[in-house]
Each structure stands twice: as structure tokens, then as C-alpha cells.
Amino acid sequence: MTNQIIISDISIRQDSEGRYSINDLHKASGSEQKDKPVHWLALQKTTDLIETIEKVGNLTFPPIRTTRGCKGGTYVCKELVYAYATWISAEFFLKVIRAYDALVSGDTAKAVAIAKTTVDDRTPLRSLVNRIMAKYGTTYQSVYKLVHREFGVQHIDELSPKQTVEAMEYLAAKAIEGEFLGKQKTLSTTSLSAREADYLIWLWDYANRSQHLYRELYPSMKQIRSEFAGKFYDYGSEFSPLIKEARKVLIRITRDVDINEPGGPMNLSAWIRLKDNSIPSSLR
């Protein structure tokens, strides 16, 4: 048995052959109904991958095994762990890779940080970054770069819960010190023509409408067990904060735009939907 992996406070059990419990991985990912192993195992591409591993994987044991009983479940080889994590989300896939590599390389401190950090732990930090971006007109990259440099990480999912709180305090202090004010002044002097503003609002409108469409279609995609069901769920939910903040920015920077100027807006309906934060009646 290899080193034990712990992700989001969930110990990933292994069987005697070193396979990993896919049920534990599901718990570590957040236990979403849409991410249950049974949905992934029902996919044809999963079946094809298992067959390929059996043929060319050079394993001395079957890549997947299911046991019954109170300690039962489905155990899979490392390649299938990665495939399942990829199917759930890119973020979870990255966390699994980093957790495994950290233990194999003996980087205990990093392994502990990954084990303890959850998406929920990082939500307040992401919300703070969104507020800073909206208020000062800066970018995600520039804000996160400060955090990465201060705490010596390459991604915020490497932060421990304690470091996540400290990162929020650090960014709040930077805001008070005026770290982001220069970017705000630069933005305030930027002027847009009506046509340029129209392009941005049109793009926001499509993003907002697409999000609602993904939400509407997700139950059907899930019912037919489509391999894209997870993507429909993600696209229908994870971009909501970004779309909300983008609307605030657009309203602010287009406040003085003259829509009656020559070559002005071509899509006034999108402007109205931006103002009312609405979608077309056909999507309701």
C-alpha cells in the first residue's frame, strides 16, 4: 500500500493492491449528486479507458474492483483516479495531482495544506478578490499574484485554512494602504464610444443568457447521462459571481455614454437587459 492521500479532510482509502476508493474521492470533491461515480462509470469513454488500461497498462491486478459490505465500495487504479477527477472538474483534478505528487515527493507541508483546504474555505477569499476587482478595476491575476508572492504558493488551493484567513487580512490591508488606487484612477479616465460599449454589453448579455440556458438544460443532460452534464452544471453556476460583478462594472463605465451618437448601439435590447438584470422572455 502506498502513502495515504488526504483531500479536503477526507482520507482516500486503498485496498491491498494499492487501488484508491473512488467513493472517498467523491466525498472529497463535495459529494455532488451529479458527480457520483455511478454516472462516470456509465460513460462509454470510461469503459473504453478501463479496457485500454487492461490491455496496455502493465498492471499486475485489475484496474477496478468493487466490494460489498460496510467497508465496501469501488477501488480504481491511479490512472482512473485522474480520469474521474478530470471528469468532475479541472480544479479537483489539479488538487488530486498535487496531493499525490506532494506525498510521493515527501513534501509533507504541502500535502497537509491540500488535505485541509476546501473550496468552501476559499470562497470568502474569492469573494473578496471579486469585490476588489469591481471597486478598483484591477484584474484577478494582479490580486492573486500578491497572494502567491506573499505566501509562496502557485495557486490559492495550496493555502491552508489559516493562510486563507491571513490572505484575506493581507488583501484588506493592501486595499487600505492604497495598493489598488492607481489602477482605479487609470480606469476612471478611460472613455468608451457607444459602439465600443455596445460590444461589451452584447458580450455580457450572451454570457448571462448562456448561463440561464445551461441551467435549464442541465436536468435533461443529467437524465440522459450525457458526458457533458457536469459541464452544463458548471457553466450554469460557477460564473454567476463574475457575471454579477461584470454587470456592475459595465453600468459604471457606460453611465456617461451617449447612445444617440452616430454609430451608436446596435443592440438596445441588451442595454435594457443589463439595466434590468434580466433575460429574454423566451428563456424564462
- Cβ atoms 18, 1 nearer than 8 A: yes
Say what the pLDDT of residue 120 is: 62
Say what the pLDDT of residue 51 is: 92
Can you tell me whether residue 65 is helix, strand or coil? strand
Can you tell me whether residue 31 is helix, strand or coil? coil
- Cβ atoms 122, 156 nearer than 8 A: yes
Say what the pLDDT of residue 275 is: 87
**Calculated CA dihedral for residues 96, 99, 103, 105, nearest 10 degrees:** 90
Euclidean distance between CA atoms 228 and 87, whole angstroms: 9
Q: Would you tell me the crossing angle of helices 22-29 and 78-88 to the nearest 10 degrees?
A: 30
Say what the pLDDT of residue 84 is: 94
Euclidean distance between CA atoms 4 and 25, whole angstroms: 13
Say what the pLDDT of residue 193 is: 78
Euclidean distance between CA atoms 238 and 240, whole angstroms: 6
Cell of 178: 492604497
Segment holding 249, helix H or strand E: helix 240-253
Say what the pLDDT of residue 64 is: 94
Say what the pLDDT of residue 186 is: 44
DSSP 53: H
Cell of 119: 473550496
Say what the pLDDT of residue 175 is: 79
Segment holding 10, helix H or strand E: strand 10-12
Say what the pLDDT of residue 117 is: 57
Say what the pLDDT of residue 271 is: 85
- Cβ atoms 237, 30 nearer than 8 A: no
Q: Return averaged pLDDT per consecutive 10 residues of the chain, 284 residues in all.
A: 67 88 89 89 92 86 85 88 91 82 68 58 79 80 87 77 82 78 49 81 91 90 86 82 88 79 72 86 66
Euclidean distance between CA atoms 7 and 157, whole angstroms: 11
Pairing of strands 73-76, 64-67: antiparallel
Say what the pLDDT of residue 1 is: 41
